[in-house]
Amino acid sequence: MISVTPLGFPRIGARRELKQALESFWKGDSDARSLHATAAALRERHWRLAREAGADIVPVNDFSLYDHVLDTSVLFDAIPASHRAAFDEDPLSGYFALARGLQDGRRDLRALEMTKWFDTNYHYLVPQFEANQRFALRGDKPLAELTQAQALGLEARPVLLGPVSLLKLGKRVDGGDPRELLDHLLPAYAELLSKLKAAGAQWVQIDEPALVLDLDDADRAAYRRAYAALAEVDAPQRLLTTYFGALGDNATLAAQLPVEGLHLDLVRAPQQLESVLPLLPEDRALSLGVVDGRNIWRADLDAALSLARRAGARAKWLAPSCSLLHVPADLELEKKLPTPLKHWMAYARQKIEELRLLADALAGNADAERDLAAAASARAARLASPLLRNAGVRKRLAAVEPAMANRVSPYPQRARLQQERLNLPLFPTTTIGSFPQTAQVRRARAEHKAGKIDDDAYRSFLENETVQCLREQEALGIDVLVHGEFERNDMVEYFGEQLDGFAFTAHGWVQSYGSRCVKPPVLFGDVSRPRAMTVDWTRYAQSQTDRPVKGMLTGPVTILQWSFVRDDQPRADSCRQIALALREEVLDLESAGIAVIQIDEPALREGLPLRRADWPAYLAWAGESFRLAASGVGDATQIHTHMCYAEFNDIIDAVAALDADVISIETSRSRMELLDAFARYRYPNGIGPGVYDIHSPRVPSRAEMSELLDKALDVLEPAQLWVNPDCGLKTRGWPEVRAALQAMVQAAQGLREQTTAEVS
């Protein structure tokens, strides 16, 4: 009998209970006991939910208070020397100090660097290893969670991030190769595995998503060494899990590693079943990832069934393609989704139900076979629905000519005209767009949504916030202002709500990092723009100040990337549809007299395929979409773009090819490391390397920011350099924002004075 086992479940809670518990703990409104109690209750609820939906075995240790990669670093005692004292004093506040930084008068600790988890919108904290890092098992998180599940009478499978992926996701402080640390790390894993066995775990799930990446010889050697060593341990049986793509040229490696089970992502790579099967030893059990853990559409159950049949007797588990962390918890909570749409969708719980149905149908259960046929026809109904197609959009797209994706003149010419128009000082200061979304702002939005305050009252509230925000920026001495984005719930949702082809959920929350969640829009059909989306607010803001106000748009790739996208046509096609709609918006902003327009593309990098061979095709359509959106304007209109948490080194030419007049990027957490790429490439246009890490409440000093700017000037021309934070300020509070921006403006002024002095 094949059993159903998810690889992981969303941890934030269907009603974001973990978020509330975390934020109240951080504010000091509740204590560690109540945080741990909420966490334990959520785990139990999720196990029961999975169980009731049809899971035979539940995952444990997939839960995390902040991030499972951070948990793994801590579990093996990879705690930076700077944070160790805080940790020894109080492990929980040490843990959060690593996640968010800690500034308490006594200490000033930085947060770990944060970056995207493979090609998802989930962020993990980058493990930071000392040059001669030693590892040890610290605490008992996986064991405690196993015990908790067992006490509830559940069959549980602990989930661990595997040693090679852990090292490959991390960095060594001395810049050395983290894989050299493998031999020190393995004994700690071995100790944990034998403890799990002693605690009664039959199987352990070891996640090695790095196995779907391009690997080199050292990686392959590390894999062989690691799993040979772990095979010596008296451990539970090992299920090696790979996801987010095909094993490809690593298939032989993965098939030969001495483990008892292997999980394959058969949603992203259904064809790999046939190629991997013949490579596997006789006795290797398979976990088949046949339901999409990355999207919210009902599965193609016929295809899944046929895959499972083809896998034959080796198939031991049916599973989603990857952890369900990347989808919302339960579709049942959605009461307001338009009817056909809800029938087309599945969240975590429904995905487990689909797997149950498949498992039962495979076992020859007649009811299940009938339900399966019904589910398959629901999917067919979606694909045939006229709601998916808009003839006007298709016609306009067919008429797009290549020249529409290019600016009129080359950058130097544009820069001159823009400077004549804007008259900005050297090292112009700006922010990335949003200002603090205070409790008051969120309350007003909720009350307006609930009909408790009318449109006029809400509008004047927002006007007031916007004007105050402009006054704050003027008082701080910022050069290019923003309106503050108070009318926006989320940078993608806000646009999706106004575009045709998108639908909205009420409970479709997905964790982005820590307590932060996003509610991705559902892009189900052809996309078009029925009316202007941002022009009113931008025009209003510009009417309230003499300084230039930046129009603020989310770019086509990011809207695509942060939505749940239809799976019945290439993503590139959906992206171009969004781009065309945004192009209309850009032109409307320009006609409204807006001189600077920022098109945010923070997700450009994360959309990059995991395999290099697939990059050029992606970069071509993604870049073309951006330029299609941006390039309708005249030379004197300045186009900005913004990207965060991106490793640019390998895509710098594609970033340059976007031909934005100014780009602002995240750099402060990585201490300007990213700039290397821009330096080596001699990036020609304006660039604002973020000098203030906005993902942490810590206020950087002027000196610190000056130092970062000096570093930037080592590799950039003064005329190129803009001064700005890393990202939008919506998650921050006003007092810290005011203090940090004041220091930032002073740093820019200091630099101006220094430069003028040097010149004269």
Residues that bind ligand GLN (CB under 6 A): 432-434, 485, 491, 552, 600, 602, 642, 644, 727-728, 730
User: What residues make contact with Zn ion under the rule CB under 5 A?
Assistant: 602, 644, 727
Question: Which candidate in 123, 326, 642, 695 is catalytic?
Answer: 695
CA atoms within 13 A on the CB side of 132: 0
State the minimum distance, in angstroms, from the CB of residue 114 to ligand GLN. 12
* Phi, psi dihedral angles at 588 (to 5 degrees): -65, -40
Q: Cβ neighbours of residue 359 under 8 Å, at least 6 residues apart?
A: 1, 2, 3, 4, 54, 318
8 A C-beta contact, residue 51 and residue 6: no
**Closer by beta carbon to ligand GLN, 167 or else 552:** 552
DSSP state, 610?
S
8 A C-beta contact, residue 431 and residue 469: no
* Phi, psi dihedral angles at 377 (to 5 degrees): -75, -25
Give the Cβ contact number of residue 676 at 10 Å: 13
Sign of CA dihedral 525, 529, 531, 535: positive
* Phi, psi dihedral angles at 242 (to 5 degrees): -125, 140
**Closer by beta carbon to ligand GLN, 16 or else 695:** 695
**Closer by beta carbon to ligand GLN, 77 or else 472:** 472
Opening angle at CA 136, ends 133 and 138, nearest 5: 125
Instruction: Based on the residue annotation, tell me whether 46 is a catalytic residue of this protein.
Output: no
Q: Which does 433 bind (CB under 5 to 8 A by kind): ligand GLN, Zn ion, none?
A: ligand GLN
**Closer by beta carbon to ligand GLN, 525 or else 602:** 602
Q: Which does 730 bind (CB under 5 to 8 A by kind): ligand GLN, Zn ion, none?
A: ligand GLN
**Closer by beta carbon to ligand GLN, 190 or else 552:** 552
CB-based burial, 566-600: b 16+ in 10 Å, e otherwise:
bbbeebbebbbbbbbbbbbbbbbbbebebbbbbbb
C-alpha–C-alpha distance, residues 119 and 527, integer Å: 23
State the minimum distance, in angstroms, from the CB of residue 186 to ligand GLN. 38
Residue with tokens 């998108």: 502
For ligand GLN, which residue has the nearest CB? 728
Q: Which does 415 bind (CB under 5 to 8 A by kind): Zn ion, ligand GLN, none?
A: none
Token duo for residue 541: 């803001």
**Closer by beta carbon to ligand GLN, 227 or else 562:** 562
State the minimum distance, in angstroms, from the CB of residue 126 to ligand GLN. 18
Strands 550-554 and 596-600, how do they pair?
parallel
Token duo for residue 53: 């939906």
State the minimum distance, in angstroms, from the CB of residue 690 to ligand GLN. 10
C-alpha–C-alpha distance, residues 434 and 492, integer Å: 13
| Residue 665 host element (H or E) | strand 662-665
State the minimum distance, in angstroms, from the CB of residue 655 to ligand GLN. 15
State the minimum distance, in angstroms, from the CB of residue 497 to ligand GLN. 16
State the minimum distance, in angstroms, from the CB of residue 723 to ligand GLN. 16
| Residue 237 host element (H or E) | strand 237-241
DSSP, collapsed to helix, strand or coil, labels residue 207 as strand
Residues involved in catalysis? 695
